[in-house]
Amino acid sequence: MSDIVSRVAPPPPSTGDKAKFYGLWIAAAVLLIVLPKIFTSQASFTTFSLIGISIIFALSYNILLGQTGMLSFGHAVYYGLGGFLAIHAINIIGAHKWAIPLPVVPLIGGITGLVFAMLLGWVSTQRSGTAFAMISLGVAELVASSALILRTFFGGEGGVSANRTKLFRLFDWSFGPQIQIYYLVAAWTLICMIAMYALTRTPWGRMCNAVRDNPERVQFVGYDPHVVRYIAFCFAGFFAGIAGALAAINFEIANSAYLGAVQSGTVLFSTYIGGVGFFIGPVVGAIFVTLLSLGLSDLTSVWQLYFGLFFILVVAFAPGGITGLLMMHRPLIRGGTLGKVIPSYLVAIVPTLALLIGLMLGIECIVHHTMNATEDPNIKAFGIPFNAASPLTWGIAAILIVGGGFVARMTWKRVAVAWDDALTAARAKEMA
């Protein structure tokens, strides 16, 4: 038997693979260290901190959605509660002068998330699908509304604030400057990423995928899908709590918005846009959505509308998210036939851009017409000035939408043909 096994069993990961694997994490660590040396402005430190927090939060959400197949509409509950407890912890630790440094505080947030997930999760994880989604929504509403009622703990509309610099200091770090907060967030981001990745490689982590694919069959190989889901829910709560605590440390405040539906929705968007099918997906999504929401809000007043449209596009045309789109090209790269599709992409991108510009122009004109019709029609969107009331602008928008849309349709059909050719050629090469 042993020689059969050695023949068919996958060899344990070779040293080359291992080096590649650890090399990846070391590269990530190095990147996190040098990033603020390259982008040295205060604003970029803040952006990076927000991205790190968002990465942890989105990865924690994907333990539910991508790994275990549970659609939650209330994941911000654990993020928010982690944030509130962290703020209270900072205040209490500061008042008592306990020797607990700030870098440990996210762990308090994580434990808070874990405890609440353990309490609230047992019933909701009985089933996945609609029942789970509805319960998560109900719990989220319950907690969000109690945040406004229980004013002593949640601070009402103003929230609760704290001074993060008053804690016991290690190596003389005050955590006043944003750069120090960045390194704190970066360290936790790396730790959480490694931990969450490692979890997917465990027996329980593998069964999460099995529960996602087929909870019924799981029961016939000895597992209770409820327990698998419950453990997933607890871990998701734990890491969400860490993210929430880091956010609270970053802003030195926690308020009811942390727990709210918008926060729960944003993490769903980030995770889905990034791609739920890959571990790296939520990381990509978190970076993309954070940059987009910070960048777009400067460019246009209705940035949320664009954000929503983009989300719809991803759901409709790229259910694998950005990562899914990129990963689609892997067989072509391996087969060396990527060159066959690039020209068709370049052709398709022209009418597609025309269509997008037409849509944006149309949206901005309509927004101006419906919201600020009495004001000066010479407006700026995305840094480009134009007259939103002129029939010419409306006409151009219409032409771009109709014409661009028509041509784009044709060119994308040609992309599909080029794709099939490239894939067939790649497969043929692989066989040879």
Which one of the spans 3-11, 132-140, 328-336, 347-355 is the region binding other proteins (CB under 8 A)? 3-11
DSSP character for 302?
T
User: What are the contacts of 26-34 at 24+ separation with CB within 8 A?
Assistant: 28/190, 28/193, 29/190, 32/186, 32/187, 32/189, 32/190, 33/186
DSSP character for 221?
G
Binding mask 11-30 for other proteins (x = CB under 8 A): -xx-----------------
Q: Which of 138, 191, 224, 416 binds other proteins (CB under 8 A)?
A: 224
Q: Which of 14, 172, 201, 432 binds other proteins (CB under 8 A)?
A: 201
Residue among 21 and 98 whose Cβ is closer to other proteins: 21
Q: Which of 29, 118, 133, 199 binds other proteins (CB under 8 A)?
A: 199
Residue 326: which H helix or E strand, with range? helix 321-327
Q: Which of 38, 95, 221, 392 binds other proteins (CB under 8 A)?
A: 221
Encoded tokens for 280 = 């790296």
Encoded tokens for 422 = 């490239």
Instruction: Say whether residue 10 binds other proteins (CB under 8 A).
Output: yes
Q: How far is the CB of 231 from other proteins (least distance, A)?
A: 6
Instruction: Say whether residue 126 binds other proteins (CB under 8 A).
Output: no
Instruction: Say whether residue 4 binds other proteins (CB under 8 A).
Output: yes
Q: Which of 178, 209, 293, 301 binds other proteins (CB under 8 A)?
A: 209
Report the SS3 class of residue 26. helix
Number of residues lying near other proteins (CB under 8 A): 35
Which one of the spans 9-17, 98-106, 172-180, 376-384 is the region binding other proteins (CB under 8 A)? 9-17
Q: How far is the CB of 229 from other proteins (least distance, A)?
A: 11
Q: Which of 58, 24, 34 is nearest to 287 (CA)?
A: 58
DSSP string, 3-21: HHHHHHSPPP--HHHHHHH
User: What are the contacts of 142-145 at 24+ separation with CB within 8 A?
Assistant: 143/74, 143/77, 143/80, 143/81, 143/259, 144/77, 144/80, 144/256, 144/259, 144/260, 144/261
Cβ neighbours for 54, distance < 8 A, ≥ 6 positions apart: 243, 267, 270, 286, 287, 289, 290
Residue among 319 and 395 whose Cβ is closer to other proteins: 319
d(CA 117, CA 70): 14
d(CA 425, CA 341): 12
Residue among 380 and 427 whose Cβ is closer to other proteins: 427
Q: Which of 27, 30, 194, 198 binds other proteins (CB under 8 A)?
A: 198
Q: How far is the CB of 200 from other proteins (least distance, A)?
A: 9
| Interface positions with other proteins (CB under 8 A) | 1, 4-5, 8-10, 12-13, 198-199, 201-207, 209-210, 212-214, 216-224, 227-228, 231, 235
